[in-house]
A and B are shown apart, each in its own frame.
Chain A
Amino acid sequence: MLSALILTGAAGRRSSVLLPSVLLRGAAALALATCLTTSLVGTASAQDGFTPKGPVTMIVPFGPGGGSDLMARSMAAGITTVHPDVQVAVENRPGGNGVIGYNYLRQNKGNPQMLLASETAAVALPLLIQPPPFQWTDFTPVAQIAADSQLLVVPYNAPYKGLDDFLAAAKQKKFRVGLTSTTSSDAIVANLLSRSQNVAFQPVVLESGSASVARLLNGDIEFTILNPSETIGQLKAKMLRPLAAFSEVRYPADSPLGSVPTAKEQGVDVSFAQYRGLYAAGGITKDQADYWADTMEAWTKTPAYKDYIAKNNLFPEFRRGDDFKAYLEKTQATLKQALKKD
C-alpha cells in the first residue's frame, strides 16, 4: 500500500489540475496493478546491476502531438515491450524552445529513471542562447534511434521540375523561404543550400510548418523546407510537390517519398538530418546507461519500431554510447558552421 501511495504521488505530481490528477492517479493505480501481476509472472530482467524500480519518467521538452511527443510515446511503449515490468510515464514540459524540459533533466542529475526524448535542439540550443542554458555533456546521451530528414517543397503548379530549374530561377529572383525560426533545422538546411550554391534566399519566419504550408498554398512564399510528417497530407493531395530530399540516401521505395530524388543525386552536395534519440540524466553509472541503450537496441528489432519509422517517414539509424557522443560532437560542429553569421 505504501508503494501504491508513492507511485500515485509521483504520477500525480506533474498533473496540475484536480480532475485530471484524479484520472492520472487512476491510471497509475492501473499501471501498478499491471506491474504487480507482470512482475509476479514474468522474470525480473537480469541486467548487470541495474533494474529500474518504481516509476520511470520520460520528459518531452515540447508540447503534446509534435514529433518529439510521438517519439517519446513510441519509445515509452517500446521500453514496456522489452521489459514488461517497466512502466514509463511521459511528461510534456514544453517552453523556451525546449530549454525548460532540458533544464528539468539537468535538475535530476544522478537519477537513472529520468529520461528525455531528445532531438537536435540539445546540440543547437547551447549555440544559440548566450550564456548557454546547458551543454549536451550535462546529460547522458543513451542512443540515437532514428534520423529525421527534410524535403524542399514547392507549390504543385510551380514551373520548376527539379532542383536545377529551381536554383536557376532562384538566381533570377530572390526566393522567399518559410522557416519555423532562424535557428531551426529547416533554417540550417536553407543556409547550407544557399552557401553551397551561392544563391541568397529571403527568410520569412512563420513559426510553424503548418503556417509555411498555408503561405505556400497561397503563393506568399516560393518554397519551404519541412519534415515529411509536417506535409505528407498536402503532398498526397497534390497541392504541394517535393523537389528534393536532404537525406543521404532516398526514402525506401515502398514509402510515399520513394520517388523523391535526394539533393546529392541532383548534384547539390547538401544533406542534413535531425537525430531522434534517448537521453538520460547526467551523472548516472555506466551500467545504468547500458541498461537503457540495450533496451533501445532491443526495441529497434521489433515490428512496432519498424512501424514507427515507416509511419513517420524516418530513417532507421541506431547509435549508442561513445558512437552517439562522437556523432553529437560532429553535428554540433556542423551546426556551428551553418549558424555562423557571414
Chain B
Amino acid sequence: MDSFYAIMGGFSSALTFWNIVYCAFGVTLGTVIGLLPGLGSSTGVALLLPLTLGLDPLAAMILLAGIYYGAQYGGTISSVLVATPGEASSVPTVLDGYKLARQGRGGAALAVAAIASFLAGTISIVFLSVLLVPLAQIALKFGPPETFALMLFGIISVVGLASGDRFKGFAMAATGVLISTIGIDAMTGTARFTFGFTELLNGFDFLYVVIGLFAINEVLKAVGTGQPEPLRTRFRDMIVTREDMRRSAMPIFRGGLLGFFFGIIPGAGATLASFFSYDIERRIARKKGIMLGTGRIEGVAGPEAANNSSVNGSFIPTLALGIPGSATTAILLGGFLLFGIQPGPLLVREQPSLVWGLVASFYVGNVLLLILNLPLAPVFALMLRFRYCFLYPGILVVSILGAYSLENDLFGIWIVIGSAALGLGLTSYGYPAAPLILGLVLGRPLETSLVQTSSMGTGSLLFFFERPIAVVLLALSLASVIVPPLMAHLDRQRKARSDQALARPSR
C-alpha cells in the first residue's frame, strides 16, 4: 500500500501545469532527436542537460527522461520510413517496419509502434512503481559472468533472424565483433587496429555503420532497381486496423515483459531485448506458417514494446541503488549531481517527491506520446509519397549530416560511405546486416565481461561454474548451437530410413 501512496504523491508532483509542459516538451524534442539519424537518446540528453540547469530538479529530470523515451519512439519513425534506426535497439524494427512502409502500410506500422510503446510502457510502469526496490537486487545479481553468458546467448540465438541462413548470420555477427575491437582497449588502454588514426581511438560508433548499412544502402538499392513511381497508397491503408491490433496484442505483451526485465540489467539491455523479442515473434509466427521479415506487423509490435519498456526497466537500478542501468541513465545520474542531489540507495527515502514524481511523469509522457503520435503516424507516412527524385537526395543529405554531427568530423562520413559500399555488396549476396550491428554493439561488453570474469576468478574461466545463472545461460547457448543441426541430421536419417523401408518391398 505504501507504494500506492508513493506513486499517488508522485502524480500530484508530476501533474502540475509546468511539469506537464516540460514533459510534453521533452517527449516532442525526444521524438525529433530520435528521428534524426546520428542522434540517439544519450547524445540528446547529454546536449540538453546543461540547458536544464536553471529549472528545478524534478522539472529538469522530467524533461530529460522525456527526451530519453521520446527518442526511442522517434527512432521508430525513421526506422520504418527510411530504414535508419537511431539506436541499436531499433534495428529489428527496420526488418518488418520498412517492408510495411514499402507496401504502403507505413502509417499502420507507426501507429502500432505508438500503441505498443504506450501499452508496454504502462505494463512496465506498474512493475516499476510496485517493485522498485526488490527488483534492484536482480540488477546486482548480473555481474560480468552473467552479462557475458547473456550476451553470448543473445548473439547466438538471434543471428538467424533476418535471413534463414545461420552461417551467413554468424559470419556477419563475427564481423561486427571484430570491428568492435578497433580503438583503445578498455582493459589495458592499448590502442588496437587504429593504424595511427586518432579518429579511431574511440572505436567505430555503430551509428556510422547503421547509417551506411541501412539508410544509404536502401537508397542505393532502390536506385539500382529503378522504381519509377512513388507509392500511391490510399489514406485508408495508412490507418491501423482492428486486424493489426489483434495480431499485435500478444507480441506487445511479450515484448513489454521481456524489455522490462532486460532493462533492469545494466549494460546493453534495450538492444538485446528488442532483438530477442523479434526472434521470439519470428519463431512463434513460423509455427503458424507466417514468415517475419516480409512486412508483418508482429515484427514491429514486439521489438517496439521491448525497447520502450526497457527504458523504464533501466531506471530501476538507477533510482533504487544509484547504479545506472544504461548509457543514458548514467548521464541522468550525473545530472542529479549537477543539481546537488546525491543519487544512491537513500534517494527514494530522501527525495520521494523527486523519484515518484519522475516515475509518474513516465506515465504522463507515454500518454502524451500516444496523443502526439497516433494522429501524426499517417501524416509522417505520407512523406513516402514524395517523388523519389526529391525523397532520396533528402535522405542522403540528412544521413550524411547526421554522421558528421556525431563527432563534427569528416572521418565519420568516410566510415559511412565505406559501410554503405560494404553493405551493398554483402546484402546483395544475402548476408543480413542486422547481426553485424548486434555484434558491433555487443562486441565490447562481450569482451570486457569475459576479461572481467577471468580476473574475478583470478585468471581462471572456471569461475563461470560458481555462478548458476551464467551456467544456465551458457548451457542454453551451447544447446542453441548444437540442437538445430542435430535435429536436422536426425530428421534426415529418419527420412532416409523410412525411404529405405519404403524402397525395400519393391526390391
Mark contacts of B286-320 with chain A using CB atoms, 8 A cut-off: 1 yes-contact digit, 0 otherwise: 00000000000000000000000000000001000
**Chain A residues near B331 (CB-CB < 8 A):** 63-65
What is the CA–CA distance of A220 and B346 in the complex, to the nearest angstrom?
22
Task: Kindly supply a per-residue 1/0 record for chain A positions 280-319, scoring 1 wherever the CB is within 8 Å of any chain B CB and 0 otherwise.
Answer: 0000000000000000000000000000000100000000
Instruction: Select one of A64, A220, A232, A239 contacting B143, CB under 8 A.
Output: A220
Residues of B within 8 Å of A18, CB to CB, are 36
Residues on the B chain within 8 Å of A69, using CB: 334, 338
Q: Report whether B346 and A129 are in contact in the complex, using a CB–CB cutoff of 8 Å.
A: no
Instruction: Determine the residue in chain B with the shortest Cβ distance to A307.
Output: B340
- A214 pairs with B323, CB closer than 8 A: yes
Docked complex Cα distance between A176 and B127 (Å):
35
Cβ-closest chain B residue relative to A23: B51
Q: What is the total number of residues of chain B having a CB less than 8 Å from a CB of chain A?
A: 62
Task: Please report the C-alpha to C-alpha distance between residue A6 and residue B361 in the assembled complex, in whole angstroms.
Answer: 39
B342 lies within 8 A of A232 (CB): yes
For window 124-181 of A, CB contacts with B under 8 Å fall at 128-129, 133, 174, 176, 181
- Interface segment among B166-174, B433-441, B449-457: the answer is B449-457
User: In the complex, what distance in Å separates the CA atom of A131 from the CA atom of B139?
Assistant: 40
B184 / chain A contacts, CB cutoff of 8 Å = 96-97
Q: Mark B320-351, 1 if CB is under 8 A from A, else 0.
A: 01111000001111110110101111110000
CB contacts (< 8 Å) of B324 on chain A: these are 210
Complex alpha-carbon distance, A70 and B331, angstroms: 12
Provide the residues of chain B in CB contact with A133, threshold 8 Å. Answer: 198
Contact of A20 among B48, B53, B345 (CB under 8 A): B48
The answer to whether the Cβ of A207 comes within 8 Å of any Cβ in the partner chain is yes
Pairwise interchain contact A233-B322, C-beta atoms closer than 8 A: yes
The reply to whether B456 and A176 contact each other, CB–CB distance below 8 Å, is yes
Do residues A64 and B408 form an inter-chain contact, with CB atoms below 8 A?
no
User: Which of A65, A100, A311 interacts with B330 by CB under 8 Å?
Assistant: A65
Residues of B within 8 Å of A220, CB to CB, are 143-144, 456
Is B186 a contact of A181 with CB atoms below 8 Å? yes
> Contacts A69-B334, A233-B343 known; A96 to B186 CB distance under 8 Å?
no
The answer to whether B408 and A215 have CB atoms under 8 Å apart is no
On chain A, the residues within 8 Å of B458 by CB distance are 174, 176, 202
Is the pair B334, A239 in contact by a Cβ cutoff of 8 Å? no
A332 interface residue per 8 A CB criterion: no
Contact A311/B340 with A64-B46, A64-B50, A176-B456 known, Cβ cut-off 8 Å? yes
CA distance A131 to B66 in the complex (A): 44
Cβ contacts A82-102/B at 8 Å (1 or 0 each): 000000001010011101100
Do the beta carbons of B334 and A64 come within 8 Å of each other? yes
CB distance from A340 to the nearest CB of B (A): 15
> Is there contact, CB below 8 Å, between B330 and A182?
no
Task: Please name all residues of chain B whose beta carbon is closer than 8 Å to the beta carbon of A208 when the two chains form the complex.
Answer: 330
Identify which of residues 169-186 in chain B touch chain A, using a CB-to-CB cut-off of 8 Å.
184, 186
Scan A207-224; emit 1 where CB is below 8 A from any B CB, else 0: 110110111011011000
| Interface stretch (choices B118-126, B187-195, B246-254, B374-382) | B187-195
A210–B323 touching, CB < 8 Å: yes
Asked whether A233 and B344 contact (CB < 8 A) given A18-B36, A205-B187, A220-B456, the answer is yes
Given contacts A90-B50, A205-B452, A210-B324, contact A70 B338 (CB under 8 A): yes
Q: How far is the CA of A22 from the CA of B108 in the complex (A)?
A: 32
Complex CA distance for A16 and B191, rounded to whole angstroms = 27
Interface size on A, residues (CB 8 A): 57
Question: A54 within 8 Å of B by Cβ?
Answer: no
The yes or no answer to A108 lying at the interface (CB within 8 A) is no
Known: A207-B448, A233-B346, A311-B340. A17 touches B47 (CB 8 A): yes
- Kindly state the separation between the CA atoms of A27 and B49 in the bound complex, as whole angstroms: 13
Q: Does A330 contact B (CB under 8 A)?
A: no
A27 touches B39 (CB 8 A): no
- Which residue of chain A lies nearest to B186 when distances are taken between CB atoms in the complex? A207
Q: Which of B44, B51, B345 contacts A233 (CB 8 A)?
A: B345
Assess the A204–B455 pair: CB atoms within 8 A: yes
Chain B residues near A214: list those with CB within 8 A.
Answer: 139-140, 143, 266, 317, 321, 323
The 8 A CB mask of A182-215 against B (1 = contact, 0 = none) is 1100000000000000000011111110110111
Tell whether, in the assembled complex, residue A73 and residue B50 are in contact, meaning their CB atoms are under 8 Å apart.
yes
A232 lies within 8 A of B344 (CB): yes
Q: Determine the distance from Cα of A213 to Cα of B428 in the docked complex, in whole angstroms.
A: 47
A185 to chain B, nearest CB (A): 14
A213 and B36 form a contact (CB under 8 A): no
Least distance between B294 CB and chain A CB atoms (Å)? 35
Bound complex: CA A142 to CA B228 (Å): 64
Nearest-CB distance from A199 to chain B (Å)? Answer: 14
Q: Which residues in A have their C-beta under 8 angstroms from that of B143?
A: 214-215, 218, 220
A63 touches B337 (CB 8 A): no
A205 engages B198 (CB within 8 Å):
no
Q: Check: A258 CB closer than 8 A to any chain B CB.
A: no
Chain B positions 16-67 with a Cβ under 8 Å from a chain A Cβ:
29, 32-33, 36, 38-39, 43-44, 46-51, 53
Distance between A225 CB and nearest chain B CB, rounded to angstroms: 16
Is B494 interfacial (CB-CB < 8 Å)?
no
Which single residue of chain A is at the shortest CB-CB distance from B139? A214
B398-447 residues with Cβ-Cβ distance < 8 A to A are: 404-408
**Interface status of A40 (Cβ within 8 A of chain B):** no
Known contacts: A63-B46, A202-B458. The answer to whether A97 contacts B189 by CB under 8 A is yes
A237 touches B189 (CB 8 A): no
Docked Cα-Cα span, A90 to B49, in Å, equals 12
Contact present for A129 and B335 (CB under 8 Å): no
A15 contacts B47, C-beta separation under 8 Å: yes
B498 at the interface (CB under 8 A from A): no
| A63 CB contacts on chain B under 8 angstroms | 46, 331, 334
Q: How many whole Å from B240's CB to the nearest CB in chain A?
A: 28
In the assembled complex, which residues on chain A have CB atoms less than 8 Å from the CB atom of B266? 211, 214
- B198 near A96 with CB under 8 A, answer yes
Q: Closest B-chain residue to A16, C-beta based?
A: B405
Are B334 and A233 in contact (CB-based, < 8 A)?
no
Among B47, B340, B344, B452, the residue within 8 A (CB) of A234 is B344
Q: Taking beta carbons and an 8 Å cutoff, which residues of B are in contact with A?
A: 29, 32-33, 36, 38-39, 43-44, 46-51, 53, 139-141, 143-144, 184, 186-189, 191, 198, 201-202, 266, 317, 321-324, 330-335, 337-338, 340, 342-347, 404-408, 448, 451-452, 455-456, 458-459
11 additional contacts, CB 8 Å, given A23-B48, A63-B331, A232-B342?
A: A20-B48, A73-B50, A129-B191, A202-B455, A202-B458, A203-B455, A210-B330, A213-B321, A214-B139, A234-B322, A237-B346
A-B contact pairs, 18 of them (CB 8 A): A20-B47, A64-B46, A69-B334, A70-B337, A90-B50, A96-B201, A96-B202, A99-B201, A100-B198, A100-B201, A128-B189, A210-B330, A215-B143, A220-B143, A233-B343, A233-B344, A234-B344, A237-B345
In order of increasing CB-CB distance, the 6 nearest A-B pairs are: A65-B334, A233-B344, A16-B405, A237-B345, A96-B201, A218-B140
